[in-house]
Structure 1
Amino acid sequence: MRTVLISGAGIAGPTLAYWLKRAGYAPTLVERAPSLRSGGYVIDFWGLGYDIAERMGILPAIEQAGYHAREMRIVGDDGGRVAGFGTRVFDELTGGRYVTLARSDLSRLLFETVGHSTEVIFDDEIVALEEMPGGVRVQLRRGGERRFDLVVGADGLHSTVRRLAFGPQQALERHLGYGVAAFEARSYPRRDDDVYLMYGQPGRMIGRFSLHDDRTLFVCIFADGTARWPATLAEQKAQLREVYRCARWEWTAILHELDRTNELYFDRVSQIKMDNWSRGRIALIGDAAFCVSLVAGQGSALAMISAYVLAGELLRAGGRHDEAFRAYEARLRNYIGAKQRGAERFAAAFAPRTRPGLWFRNQVIRAFSLPGAARFVVGRDLADRLDLPSYRWDNRDAASV
């Protein structure tokens, strides 16, 4: 049985492991973190990723874990409504196949489809790769030397596999000029269930969303042109305090929660653009290959799509990895390129850099309530112009994978 080492147990990795098992492969997942990650941010989940989740049998669990937000509301300094729209428009654009959920919940549900039947190595990472005739020699930091038929990097924007096989990240990364931070708080005194609130000033936005179990998620998106990116938790908190020093609304209360948290997601808003997503017996999927950026809203779905297609093309090619890798890339290259271009247009909508820009953004959002306006403005970016291929998967029940 052919063996595949998959680096990353987030979204793309478990999805690939599931479909590789359906294709008759023996996948191994290696994850640098000591356990599945929690916290982070929420994602809007629709389109082909939603379809793949349905094929994997986890859609009911996703719907149960998720949220059906009824409004996106922009507020001013005093918390009063400035603009907004009902999210029924997204249901219309997606045929009702749309849900918001925590990225960590999606990761957990995907992992549960394979965790009981797949070798999983936590608290370890790849430190060296050497392709050789018939396989890849892998050096793990803790686990020593192993050999696999193929290696796939599903390890995100800051992919170790990509760095080892294709070179440094800075040569492939395109920073979109924004930073993002996200964290959770418990028992925050203000709750607006099923409403996503946004407060903005030029070049910075704060979002608040009420989660299950008396938790609240805060998301900050801000214009960033700094050459040095803060590395430690203390430096990251200090940068947020500086960026939002003039913010009003609930910032004083949010800052109190920021001071208390020990889990802060903090990163640049970037894209990865590569001429090739594979080299020899090593391939990349998801953000490791083509990160469209966090603000695009479809990163998790695209990760699942790329995992599904890569596994399917390996099945279709009878294990001829070079043929499969070419077919995988040929099928997705134009589709992913369109998603990246859409994300570039969309990024500035979260935190316009000027007051006229904020005003214009708010007018566009107000127009969403007009019939057909939302379809005209965002319909092309929401649409999935790709036919999901059908592959001749093993007929075993999904629960046995």
Structure 2
Amino acid sequence: MSAVLISGAGIAGATLAFWLKAGGFEPTLIERAPALRTGGYVIDFWGLGYDIAERMGLIGEINRIGYHVQEMRIVDDAGRRIAGFGTRVFSELTGGRYVTLQRSDLSRLLFESIKGDTETLYGDEIVAIEERSDHVRVELKYAGPRRYDYVVGADGLHSAVRKLAFGPQSQFETDLGYRVAAFEARGYHPRDDDVYLIYGQPGRMIGRFTLRDDRTLFLLVFLAADADLPATQMAQKAMLRDVYRNDGWECASMLAEIAQTNELYFDRVSQIRMPEWSRGRIALVGDAAFCVSLLAGQGSALAMISAYVLAGELAAAQSRYEQAFGRYEALLRSYIATKQRGAVRFAGAFAPQTQIGVHVRNLVVRAFAIPGVARLVVGRDIADKLQLPDYEWPTSINWASPNARSQAQDQAQL
């Protein structure tokens, strides 16, 4: 049984571990954080990622914990609605297979599908990789040296595996010029259930979304001239205060909440573009290989798609890993390139750089209320052009059945 070390226990890593197990491999997850990450931003989940989650038996729980947003609403300085549209069109375009949920909740559900039969090393990381003729030798920061048949980097935009095996991030990262921050506030008012509110000025925006348990999520996106990120959370908060301090709406209240939070997500809005996603016995999936950027809205689904395809190709190739990695790239590279191009277009619409751009964006959003316009504008981005492969999994499990997850766990214990 081939052993695979997966760096990163997030969405890509947990999905890959699940399908590798189904393919007869022995995966191990290593995660630098001491536990599963919480908080973060919300994602819209549909398309092929939804299909894979269904094959894993997770859709019922995803729909239970997810949110079914009714309206996207743009507001002015006084909080008055100036544009917006109902989100029913997204449900119609996806046949009702569309849900909004916290990224960390999806990650948790995916991890729970493998917990108990997949070794997971928390609070550790890969510090050296040496590929040999018949295995890969890795040096872990705390657990010391180990050997695996394959190593996969599923460790996100700032992938350590990519840096060790392919080169520094600067070789592959394209900065789209924006910075993003996200955090949760408890007890924040007002609350607007099932409505995503957006407030924007040229070059910056704020999204507010009401969560359960008296929580509110804020997402901030803004233009930044400096490519470097603030080194500390204190400096990050200072940058946010500087960017938003003169804005209206609820910015004063939001900045007061930022001052109190200890959990602030802050990063560049970037893409990763690589000439190859594998080298020898080492491969990359998800954001580590091809981050389309947070603003694309499909990063989590793409992470699941790439993990599923890589596991399926490894299972089909029966240890011919060069063939598996080649097929993996051949199937997905054109599809991913299309998503990356779309993300660049969308970034400019998310936080237009000029007042005229903001006005045009608002006019387009208003037009979405006209029957058929939203379908015409977003239909091509909602529809997935890729045909998801059907692999022959050695466990011969009907993954689409409601009991898929429990069946998979029973099989793994036999």
8 Å contact from structure 2 (residues 272, 291) kept in 1: yes
Structure 2 residue aligned with 1:100: 100
Q: Which residue of 2 aligns with 1:287?
A: 287
1:61 aligned partner:
61
Counterpart Cα distance in 1 of 2:296 and 2:27: 30
Query: What is the distance in 1 between the residues matched to 2:145 and 2:168?
Result: 23
CA distance in 1, matches of 2:228, 2:178: 13
Secondary structure in structure 2 of the residue aligned to 1:137? strand
Residue type at the aligned position of 2:237: K
Q: CA deviation at 1:399?
A: 3.4
Please say if residues 245 and 252 of structure 2, whose CA atoms lie closer than 8 Å, have aligned partners that are also in contact.
no
1:146-181 Cα offsets, whole Å, 9 max, x none, are 000000000000000000011000110001111100
Q: If the length of structure 2 is used for normalisation, what is the TM-score?
A: 0.96
In the TM superposition, what whole-angstrom CA distance separates every residue of 1:336-359 from its partner, at most 9, and x where no partner exists? 000000001001111101110000
1:94 positional shift: 1.1
CA–CA distance in 1 between the matches of 2:22 and 2:268? 36
Partner residue in 1 for 2:192 = 192
Q: How much does 1:24 deviate?
A: 0.2
What per-residue deviation string (whole Å, max 9, x for no partner) do you get for residues 95-130 of structure 1? 110000000000000000101110000000000000
- Where does structure 1 lack aligned partners over 5 or more consecutive residues? none
- Deviation (angstroms), 1:227: 3.4
Find the counterpart in structure 1 of residue 116 from structure 2. 116
Normalising by structure 1, report the TM-score: 0.99
Secondary structure of residue in 2 paired with 1:324 = helix
**How far off is 1:73 after superposition?**
0.2
1:17-46 CA-to-partner distances (Å, cap 9, x unmatched) read 000000000000000000000000000000
Mapped to 2, the partners of 1:382 and 1:156 lie a distance apart of 23
CA distance in 1 between partners of 2:225 and 2:213 (Å): 37
CA contact (8 A) 1:127 1:140 kept: yes
Task: Note the C-alpha offset of 1:395.
Answer: 2.0
Matches within 5 A, 1:240-251: 240-251=240-251
Q: Give the deviation of 1:142 after TM superposition.
A: 0.6
Residue 359 of structure 2 aligns to a residue in which SS?
A: helix
In structure 1, give the amino acid aligned to 2:19: W
Shift, 1:371, TM fit: 2.0
- Residues 68, 99 of structure 1: 8 Å contact kept: yes
Aligned partner of 1:6 in structure 2 is 6
1:64 deviates by: 0.8
Paired position in structure 2 for 1:156: 156
For 1:183 and 1:373, the matched residues in 2 are separated by 33
1:68-79 equivalent positions in 2, closer than 5 A? 68-79=68-79
* Aligned residue in 2 for 1:369: 369
Which residue of structure 1 lines up, in the alignment, with residue 401 of structure 2?
none
**How far apart are residue 319 of structure 1 and its match?**
1.9
Deviations 1:235-256 (A, max 9, x none): 1000000111211100111111
Aligned to 1:265: 265
Cα distance in structure 1, aligned partners of 2:287 and 2:131 = 23
RMSD: 0.8
Q: Which runs of 5+ in 2 are unaligned?
A: 398-406
Letter aligned with residue 387 of structure 1: Q
The answer for the alignment partner of 1:183 in structure 2 is 183
Q: How many Å apart are 1:398 and its aligned residue?
A: 2.5
Give the aligned partner of residue 399 of structure 1: 409
Aligned to 2:400: none
The count of corresponding residues between Structure 1 and Structure 2 is 401
Q: Amino acid of the residue matched to residue 399 of structure 1?
A: Q
Distance 1:38 1:303 in 2: 18
Give the superposition deviation at 1:333.
0.5
Map of 1:234 onto structure 2: 234
Letter aligned with residue 357 of structure 2:
G
Paired amino acid for 1:215: R
- Whether the 8 Å contact between 1:3 and 1:27 is mirrored in structure 2 is yes
Q: Does 2:173 correspond to 1:173?
A: yes
